[in-house]
Amino acid sequence: MKNRPIFWRLFVSFLVFILLILSISTFLFVNTLRNFYQEQTLIDLRDQAILIGEQVRPLVVSREDDRVSALIDGLGEKTGSRITLILPNGQVIADSAEKIQSLDNHADRPEFMEAMAGKIGQSVRYSYSLHTDMLYVALRLGPESSPAGAVRTAKPIKSFNATLAMAYPGIFLGSLAVALVAALISLFVSRRISRPLERIKKAAEIFANGHLKKKILISGPPEVVALADSLNLMASRLQDRIDTVIKQRNEQEAVLSSMVEGVLAVDNEERILRLNQAGLKLLSISGGEPKGKPVQEMVRKAEMLRFIRHALSSSEAVEGEVLIQAGTGETYFQVHGTPLKNALGEQIGALIVLNDVSRLRHLENIRRDFVANVSHELRTPITAIKGFVETLLDGALHVPEESQRFLAIISKQAERLNAIIEDLLRLSRIEQDEKKDSIPLEIRPLREVLITSVQACSSLHREQSIRIDLECPPELSAAFNPPLLEQAITNLIDNAIKYSGKNGRILVRAEENQQGILITVRDWGIGIVEEHLPRLFERFYRVDQARSRNLGGTGLGLAIVKHIAQIHRGTVGVVSSPGKGSTFSIQLPPPGAVIPSAD
């Protein structure tokens, strides 16, 4: 019964209750019928006693015993009752059922004693003479002052029990019919109540599985319909709230996923509550979902862990910078930590925001180096000019040989100073055009600009007796800006000439590869040590400071080449070995991958 469906619970409960009521009603009905029949029998026996007493009293008074016995026998046969006449002293003078000689004195019979006291004597007891239970009624004959005795009528209990037994089948069949009708009514009522409840239960299970848009459409008792409406309303409001929560969560996820800054939330036990994609990347975390895991297990950086503990122990916002060594590189993080509180204002952890400022630090270093390099590069010719001018002013001007030599040096240093300024201005213009994306690119044959670049360096390579070979198919085309690309290739050829030595060879080559168009300038000169290669394209970076200055270099040529390549959506590269020469390259994208810019 405990795990039975509600239909069976209702049906069995209704049926048991109805059967219990029906059993009690049947018992009470049978008992009432029995009492009623017994009461009617007593009334009949009393009436019979009254009528018989009026008839036999004169005969008893006159002591006509024979007539009395005959009369009693006849009346007993007609009425079906046992009739007994008893004298005041308890002696039986007549009995319709037994011979008087076999009967005892009845003075102690309770019904006789009540009758002689002037009452209607009644008694239900066992008759030893008839050997059965009898119902007795006794009346006094005559007045109390001179009673003639008592007349008693009786009937066996089994006689009206037999009568009642005839009524029992009808009562049983009626009760059975009522029980069947009650069972059908219970079945109908239980089904009428349980069916909508079962539908509501199934709908609630559907709601529990997340399908809150389904509606419960049932008919039945008003209370059940009201329950279904309440569940529909609850589901609708719950769906609205879930939609709102999902929308807010998606918005939050979109915001966190779109953030460049890393966001890390930890609880007071230093377990990760939340970590966005940027945080995973910045902290180099991989290997499964970090949520719920100890932060020490996912973040293996001691300085970062110290800052997290500091943020957890602080009740106010904290800020700092964390340096993390990753292999040979360094990563700088600007970190902010704020207490994480719940709706009650209790601190449940800390929120850490990480911002990678490595590029900013790198740019600051570049700017600092650039300022230092510019200052140094400009100071050298300015110091030389100033020194020789002071020397001339001190009297060397009047010595023709010395003044001519000093003025030649001043002129050379002025040219060098002008070259540095020109390269700086050129680099600045290229960077500005690169940011504005205003430089037009044309798809045209590449061989022409390579020939022009080689011709631009003709005077220099003839002085050094250097042979320049050019390999480029006439049909090879690329998207480029002719003046800028010519400048970049000229710088590479000029650089190769300076470091090749006399009677050297330079190969300028253009070919098509998988990435697009590759332009290379190769020399077989002194080469470059590997440790210098990553920084060759930085401004004012020199492998050999003295040699570079003596050759007239400004330290900006390769930086200009790199920016020109970037304008063309390309890249630069270098491969070199000491004593074996160097190969500088410009990789351009395929012509179809570059959309020419409009002026």
Please write the tens of the pLDDT for every residue from 368-410: 766 666 665 666 677 777 777 777 777 766 777 777 777 777 7
Give the CB-side neighbour count of residue 477, counting CA atoms within 13 A: 11
Among 569, 566, 560, 561, which residue's Cα sits nearest to residue 589? 569
Distance CA 470, CA 485 (A): 16
* Residue 548: pLDDT band with limits 50, 70, 90: very low
The CA-based angle 89-95-101, given to 5 degrees, is 70
Q: Two tokens at 184?
A: 């059908």
| Average pLDDT rounded to a whole number, residues 531-551 | 64
Average pLDDT, the chain: 78
Among 361, 370, 325, which residue's Cα sits nearest to residue 535? 370
The model's pTM: 0.42
* Residue 598: pLDDT band with limits 50, 70, 90: very low
Do 523 and 509 meet the contact criterion of CB atoms below 8 Å apart? no
pLDDT higher than 80, residue 270:
yes
Please write the tens of the pLDDT for every residue from 340-368: 888 788 888 888 888 877 777 777 776 77
Q: How confident is the model at residue 549, as a pLDDT?
A: 47
Looking at the chain, the whole-number percentage of residues with pLDDT higher than 70 is 81
Long-range pairs of 232-237 with CB within 8 A, sequence gap ≥ 24: 235/207, 236/212
Q: How confident is the model at residue 163, as a pLDDT?
A: 67
| Average pLDDT rounded to a whole number, residues 146-175 | 77
Burial 420-440 (b: 16+ CB within 10 A, else e): beebbebbeebeebeeeeebe
The CA-based angle 445-448-453, given to 5 degrees, is 135
Please write the tens of the pLDDT for every residue from 280-314: 777 777 766 788 888 887 887 788 888 888 888 88
Q: How confident is the model at residue 378, as a pLDDT?
A: 65
| Average pLDDT rounded to a whole number, residues 520-536 | 84
Q: How confident is the model at residue 427, as a pLDDT?
A: 62
Out of 163-167, 191-195, 276-280, the most confident range is 276-280
Distance CA 211, CA 250 (A): 20
Q: How confident is the model at residue 599, as a pLDDT?
A: 42
- The percent helix, strand, coil of the chain (3-state, each to 5) is 55, 20, 25
Distance CA 141, CA 43 (A): 18
Please write the tens of the pLDDT for every residue from 558-590: 887 888 888 888 899 999 888 888 899 999 988
Phi, psi (degrees; rounded to nearest 5) at 542: -125, 135
Helix (H, G, I), strand (E, B) or coil at 171: helix
* Residue 596: pLDDT band with limits 50, 70, 90: very low
Among 435, 442, 434, 380, which residue's Cα sits nearest to residue 412? 380
CA quadruple 472, 572, 452, 543: dihedral positive or negative?
Answer: negative
Q: How confident is the model at residue 520, as a pLDDT?
A: 92
pLDDT higher than 80, residue 208:
no
Do 353 and 262 meet the contact criterion of CB atoms below 8 Å apart? yes
Please write the tens of the pLDDT for every residue from 453-501: 888 777 666 677 788 889 999 888 888 888 888 888 888 888 888 878 7
Please write the tens of the pLDDT for every residue from 216-247: 766 766 777 777 778 788 888 888 888 888 88
> Which residues have C-beta within 8 Å of that of residue 344, sequence separation ≥ 6?
none
Q: How confident is the model at residue 99, as a pLDDT?
A: 81
**Beta bridge partner(s), residue 509:** 471, 520
* Residue 518: pLDDT band with limits 50, 70, 90: very high
Helix (H, G, I), strand (E, B) or coil at 450: helix
The CA-based angle 198-204-205, given to 5 degrees, is 95
Q: Which residue has the tokens 């030389």?
A: 384
Please write the tens of the pLDDT for every residue from 138-148: 888 877 777 88
pLDDT higher than 50, residue 149:
yes
Please write the tens of the pLDDT for every residue from 401-457: 777 777 777 776 677 677 667 666 666 666 666 555 567 788 888 898 888 888 877
* Longest Cα separation, the chain: 206
pLDDT higher than 50, residue 323:
yes
Do 537 and 562 meet the contact criterion of CB atoms below 8 Å apart? yes
